[in-house]
Structure 1
Amino acid sequence: MPQPKVKLVVTGDDFGYCPKRNQGIVDCFQAGGISNVSLLVNASSAKEATELAKRHHIPIGLHANLSEGLPVSQGLKRGSTLLNKDGFFHGKMGFRKALQSGRVNMTEVELELRAQVRLFGELMGHLPCHMDGHQHIHVLPGMTP
């Protein structure tokens, strides 16, 4: 009996984080080490990353981020449960603690994620081919709803 074919998908995440990381991810894709990338739309080199993805025909998805940097949604710039007093996301452990203690407003989570998907579409001209979470936020207890 023939063996079923298995396809391994290896994703290079944090695309857009910085120019050196962007180039390393492109190099890995061209060498066949990864099969797609996940873009941090709120990172400092996101625009450059999208140009590289287009130029090199790299399948690209969204690396949803609620833990590092600044929010994309203009509605969350002040007084959000997702942000610290300086207007930045709480950080990896800060987000986990806020989520565990019930201090994260899920309406704000949805607002920010929708803004990130929208920005991805503006940068790439299409919706993400996949979506995953920066620092594994998408698998944390309480994030499923």
Structure 2
Amino acid sequence: MKQSRLYATSVAIGGRAVLLMGPSGSGKSDLALRLIDRGADLVSDDYTVLEARDGTLFATAPDTIAGKIEVRGIGIIEMPRVHDIAVALVVCLDGVVERMPLRPKAITVAGVDLPEITLNAFEESAAIKVELALHRATKGL
């Protein structure tokens, strides 16, 4: 089983991981904090280790940053985390947000196809939108 490292913050909601992808300053950690405030668990901040097993992608934190999240203006904060969680959704934080996407988007990460949405991390409703998209992506599971 091959591991790879991806520049993404990840959280777990209802036992499924969400990868928050975007460049520095795009709101990955900020959105993760809002999701954690709504009941999500931290998987990894900034970089996520991914491993594909039997067609499922699993996420965990690198040992050096496990249980830590960067809070801009405050610094590095320690918090509980979960690991080895199946990834169910990718959220792109640097792209054009379509008002009403005509068809679902997908992205291939480490050889695994995953649903993808594009959001503005700094919108007040971003955390709720992530939860809704995750529900839609996993309703058949």
Which structure: larger Rg? 1
Which has a greater percent of strand?
A: 2
